[in-house]
Amino acid sequence: MINIKTNFIINKHLIIFTIISICMLPLFFLFENYIFFMITVYFIFTFIIINIITRHVIRLQKEKIYFTEKLNKQAIELEDIIVQVVQIEQKLIQSEKLAILGKETAGIIHEINTPLSVINSSISTTKIFLEQILEQLPVLINLSAKPEFLKLLTKSSQSLLSSKEERELKNNMAKQLSKYSIANNVIIANYLINMGIHDEIETFLPLLRLPDNVIIFKIAYKIAALQTIFFSSSTAIDKIIRIITAVNSYGNDPNQKISTNIIDNIEIILTLYHNKIKRGVEVIRNYSELPPIMCYPNELGQVWTNLIYNALHAMDYRGILQIEVKLQDSNILVKIIDNGVGIPTNIQEKIFEPFFTTKTNGNGLGLDIVKKIIAKHDGKVIVESKPSKTVFSVSIPIV
């Protein structure tokens, strides 16, 4: 359209120039002055050219203004599109996190129910033992003055023995007690071994030779058992707190960088996957001391979630999962290594592309999200794979 207008304007001025030139021919014969004629033609032609150029400049300026406004409008639209894309990515990350939490809900509930069962059982046992100990309170008061009894409680410990080992120790203990002519040696041997006392029984001979030795060692066993129950309950409570903290940390979504310990960040994800890992996966941790870094912890948590999930899936939840974390120059290097089937060479370059997946129920966004999150942290992620060994290496700058 612009070319057509330009040609029309040029042709119009050429016609005008031609008409004027023809009209001026009589002047040439009238004045018989060739030079005057040429000068006149020159000025007319110059005027026409200047007019054409002026019109073109005005038109170009208008077109410049028009296209500048159009480009500005498109730039604003592009910024809006970029903001929408970022928002969509954030929603994808959040939906991915919620999807994983949804998949792991049964396992997480089971992980919480197990320590809750321990605590519930401990409360019941504690109630029974306390009632039985209180029934023997007069005896307990007398025993509290005996140093041998206090040493017996101090020496008691929790021991993990197989049935065979426990049986052999009880038989040997009963024989030792029999050598000292201790009455009720078999019953007392059971109490001693259950309390974790396997030797140095000479220290307790004054108690062993008392006529009510069965009652004394029964009380000591129950007090020692209460110590073990309290320890087990404390461990169970710590486990519940750790799981709840992991879920809360994983679900939160801070929109600014905060100081984060990368190892703790990874351990949160391992806690969430513990129910699946414990069944047939050996986790080998090679952690070096690291400084905290400023990052988006939940987004990095999504990175470890996707990489660990892929590793477990590649091993069919049976194998060795290695996690290495160390300093490399001014970067933190994290390696997730599995001994699964490996990634075929011909698709290794495609695995970070959006919507590319080899899983029947996958959406192909996991590794694409990983790549974008690491890029957001000015880092990089690479993969090396062969049968029985796949390594995802994530490098993140400290500052």
d(CA 314, CA 10): 73
* 128 domain-assigned: no
Is 296 in a helix, a strand, or coil? coil
* Cβ-contact 168, 175 below 8 angstroms: no
**Together in a domain, 286 and 368:** yes
Q: Which among 11, 19, 25, 21 is positioned nearest to 43, based on CA atoms?
A: 21
Q: Are 207 and 149 in contact (CB under 8 A)?
A: yes
Least confident of 110-124, 167-181, 274-288, 314-328: 110-124
Task: DSSP letter for 204, please.
Answer: G
In this structure, the answer to whether residues 183 and 78 fall within a common structural domain is: no
**Domain assignment present for 263:** yes
Same domain, 221 and 271: no
The whole domain housing 67 covers 2-82
Domain limit, last residue, from 38, 57, 82: 82
Q: Where does a domain end: 193, 214, 239?
A: 239
Do 208 and 286 lie in a common domain? no
Do 215 and 285 belong to one domain?
A: no
Q: Which pair of structure tokens corresponds to residue 276? A: 């699946």
- Give yes or no: residues 344 and 219 share one domain: no
Are residues 197 and 158 located together in one domain of the fold?
A: yes
Q: Verify that 342 and 389 share a domain, yes or no.
A: yes
Q: Looking at the structure, do residues 280 and 323 belong to the same domain, yes or no? A: yes
| Predicted pLDDT at 9 | 47
DSSP reduced 3-state for 301: helix
Least confident of 51-60, 74-83, 126-135, 347-356: 74-83
Confidence of residue 327 (pLDDT cuts 50, 70, 90): very high
Question: Within a domain: residue 146?
Answer: yes
Q: What is the mean pLDDT of residues 271-283?
A: 83
> 388 and 342 in contact (C-beta within 8 Å)?
yes
The answer to whether 287 and 270 have CB atoms below 8 angstroms apart is: no
Q: What is the count of structural domains for the chain?
A: 3
What are 132-142's pLDDT values in tens digits?
888 777 777 77
Please tell me the predicted confidence (pLDDT) of residue 275.
Answer: 77
Buried b / exposed e over 316-330, threshold 16 CB at 10 Å, is ebebbbbbbbeeeee
CA dist 31 → 44, 185, 252 (Å): 18, 154, 97
260/369 same-domain check = yes
Assigned domain for 108 exists: no
pLDDT for 255 beyond 70: no
User: What's the confidence (pLDDT) of residue 7?
Assistant: 46
Summarize pLDDT for 62-102 with one digit per residue, the tens: 888 888 887 878 777 777 776 666 666 666 666 666 666 66
Q: What is the mean pLDDT of the chain?
A: 78
Contact 193, 175 (CB under 8 A): no
**Which one-letter DSSP state was computed for residue 231?**
H
> What are the φ/ψ torsions at residue 321 (nearest 5 degrees)?
-110, 115
- Average pLDDT (140-155) is 78
Domain check: are 62 and 191 in the same one? no
Summarize the confidence of residues 138-152 as an average pLDDT: 78
Compute the radius of gyration of the chain from its Cα atoms.
Answer: 43
Residue 53: what pLDDT?
78
Q: Is 217 in the same domain as 266?
A: no
Residue 317 placed within a domain: yes
| 24 within some domain | yes
Question: CATH code at 320?
Answer: 3.30.565.10
Q: Choose one of 183, 214, 239: the last residue of a domain.
A: 239
Q: Is 55 among the domain residues?
A: yes
Does residue 125 lie in a domain region? no
Residues 6+ away with beta carbon under 8 Å from 352: 367, 368, 370, 371, 381
